[in-house]
Structure 1
Amino acid sequence: MRSIIAQVFVAFIAIAAASHADAAVGFQHFSISDPQGPPIEVGVWYPTGAAPKLQALESDQQVVARDAALAGDRLPLVVISHGHGGSYAGHLDTAMALANAGFVVAALTHNGDSWRDPGNPTAIWERPRQFKLVTDYMLDAWGDHGRIDAKRVGAFGFSAGGFTVLAVAGGEPDLRTLGDHCRAHPAFEDCQIVERHPLPLDADIVWTHDPRIKAVVSAAPALGFAFGRKGLAAVRQPVQLWRAEDDQVLPHPYYAEAVRLALPTSPEAHVVANAGHYDFLTPCSAQLATRVPAICTSRPGFDRAAFHERFDRDIVAFFTRAL
């Protein structure tokens, strides 16, 4: 019986994907106010019936209908959090795939930890707070907020963003664990960042949670070791967890694996063979590959574009099922 149900579900996903195959994607770019900091940059992708055209997006390009009318009603929402030093545009293909499948997608640029504003990357409690502000805006103030189903909200994040979505979903790390971790692994990226930007561990840190988040996709989550079972006990939502087999930035088993073992319910876990940390980012344009080869170069034999076809398909299927 379970096999039959699974086959029916797979067929449903295939039909749903086909129904959106020719759908166009609308796009908006704006900033929202933050009462505790500078305005937050946001990109929004969504289904539309308008004709799209090729447009620039930071160092990339996308085929979208700028500021077009939204198509559909009671649509699910997915909010995206980028990794350390990234921006709202870092997961363009995933945002487009979700919008093509009938989701509204909002991605933010985290102030203090983006390529434009890199000055405060260790204030990681700011990330979930900023994330929730964007979710609040999309559900309460966005021009078409009334056509989003507030009971169907998901969160996607990569690296520091993977940490962010776990925190928003209810996770609370113990940052005091960073001391022992970094003494043992001083070359790890998170420890290098903390060395340059020391954590104010005596600060009164408040973690922002959002019970409206009903499903989480976390790829290569940063600081996974800092949660533990107690820190992830409140994360009861369905979780899809991704790990790159050859992640040299956040190496196994201290990050994604630590999260997998600590979650109260086993996640849908994926290990991507031969992949590196940055292979979860959108395949690089030629311009970006020339400018920042470190995040654009994959291991020999790894096809990032082909992987992202599967990655995006699996994320769409997960959010469709979970929301």
Structure 2
Amino acid sequence: MRLMALIVMLFALLATPAHAADVGFEEIKIANGAESPLTAGVWYPSDATASPHALGDVNQTVALDAPVAGHGLPLVLISHGGGGWYGSHYDTALALAHAGFVVAAVSHAGDTFDDQSRVLQLWRRPAQLHRLLDYMLDDWRWHERLDAGRVGAFGFSNGGFTVLVAAGGIPTLSKIAPYCEAHPEHDLCTALKQAGVDLHSIPEVSASAWVHDPRIKALVVAAPAFGFSFDRAGLSSVRAPIQLWRAADDRHQPHPYYEEAVRADLPEVPEYRVVPDAGHYDFLPPCDTRLSRKMPDICNSLPGFDRAAFHERFNADVVQFFQATLR
């Protein structure tokens, strides 16, 4: 009888699905030349037990500062939108980490929710992303667990612009003034006017000032800002596979001057996704009731649009894309 009980127990154990790995998380500081260190968040597979922890205004279920699980892990960098921070896309980061990716997101100094002093110094962002990648591959405490040949990047809005530059794109900032003269009612242009920015004082940046990183092998680009500043020549060196997303009801970045401008001039046809009824900020995670009251412009979707259901599909598609392109 004892032998029979052991056999039954063994079969029960074999029939039980393996417990999915939890996600570890840590905040890191990265040297940034003469400036203050950059702050970044890192999500990664871990066998440690996860529990709820605050991340800004939200909670995420992670194991803080836990050991990483696995070897030869692919890495995805995240670049947030204007006025965001490293936690802006935490749900996408969690989905990728649960799927076996290490994810590193930097707060872009000078273009965060608490410091927008250098928003139009757009060349700073790709340089910061480059520093993040250097740190992750060379100095992160678990860097030997990473596969340096499998690096991707995800970017939203200003972050979409950032990862396009990182992958080889060269924008022309002098296009901003004529764009706003032709479309003064567009959000970008009204914001610049309210900020007192002289459009003709925006400096043109030499091609050498834009930092590229050939280690990045695949991109997910959602609602890229300043899409009209690129052209066919400026995107000619962007050869990495791209999943490009557009919100069909994006009133912040009106069609066809952003995603469509990028899609039309990429040398390789991207995987192009248009999300019906979605607005610009629907690429950010769903908000709870408290956060919706605090930030209604960012949190509230069009009536009938289910942001939570969309993010389930969106995150799954992002994971599948990086699984296919970072093999």
Per the alignment, residue 320 of structure 1 pairs with: 323
Contact kept in structure 1, 2:224 and 2:259, CA below 8 Å: yes
Secondary structure at 2:150 match in 1: strand
Is 1:72 aligned to 2:75, yes or no? no
Per the alignment, residue 251 of structure 2 pairs with: 248
Which range moves more in the overlay, 256-265 or 281-290? 281-290
1:1-323 mapped onto 2 (5 Å cutoff): 22-195=20-193, 196=195, 197-198=197-198, 200-201=202-203, 206-323=209-326
Give, in whole Å, the separation in 2 of the partners of 1:22 and 1:100: 8
- Contiguous gaps of at least 5 residues in structure 2: 1-16
Q: CA deviation at 1:36?
A: 4.4
Which range moves more in the overlay, 188-197 or 289-298? 188-197
Q: CA deviation at 1:285?
A: 2.9
Secondary structure at 1:90 match in 2: coil
Q: CA deviation at 1:231?
A: 0.6
Give, in whole Å, the separation in 2 of the partners of 1:201 and 1:194: 14
User: How many corresponding residue pairs?
Assistant: 305
Per the alignment, residue 4 of structure 2 pairs with: none
**Over alpha carbons, which structure has the higher Rg?**
2
Give, in whole Å, the separation in 1 of the partners of 2:19 and 2:126: 33
Contact kept in structure 1, 2:75 and 2:150, CA below 8 Å: yes
Q: Deviations over 1:111-168 (max 9, x none)?
A: 1110011111001110000111001100010000111000000000000001000000
Contact kept in structure 1, 2:279 and 2:301, CA below 8 Å: yes
Q: Deviations over 1:27-79 (max 9, x none)?
A: 00122110042211100000000000011000000000000000000000000
- CA RMSD between the two structures: 1.4
Q: CA deviation at 1:20?
A: 8.9
Q: Name the aligned partner's letter for residue 221 of structure 1.
A: P
Closer, same or farther: CA 23–116 of 1 in aligned 2, 3 Å? same
Q: Name the aligned partner's letter for residue 305 of structure 1.
A: A
Per the alignment, residue 11 of structure 1 pairs with: none
Contact kept in structure 2, 1:59 and 1:287, CA below 8 Å: no
- TM-score scaled by structure 2? 0.90
Closer, same or farther: CA 274–82 of 1 in aligned 2, 3 Å? same
Which range moves more in the overlay, 148-157 or 282-291? 282-291
Q: Deviations over 1:148-195 (max 9, x none)?
A: 000000000000001000000000001111111000112323223433
- TM-score scaled by structure 1? 0.92
Give, in whole Å, the separation in 2 of the partners of 1:80 and 1:202: 26
Q: CA deviation at 1:290?
A: 1.4
Which range moves more in the overlay, 193-202 or 161-170? 193-202
Contact kept in structure 2, 1:20 and 1:101, CA below 8 Å: no
Q: Name the aligned partner's letter for residue 53 of structure 1.
A: S
Q: CA deviation at 1:21?
A: 7.4
- Contiguous gaps of at least 5 residues in structure 1: 1-18
Closer, same or farther: CA 209–284 of 1 in aligned 2, 3 Å? same
Q: CA deviation at 1:203?
A: 5.7
Give, in whole Å, the separation in 2 of the partners of 1:28 and 1:75: 17
Contact kept in structure 2, 1:20 and 1:100, CA below 8 Å: no
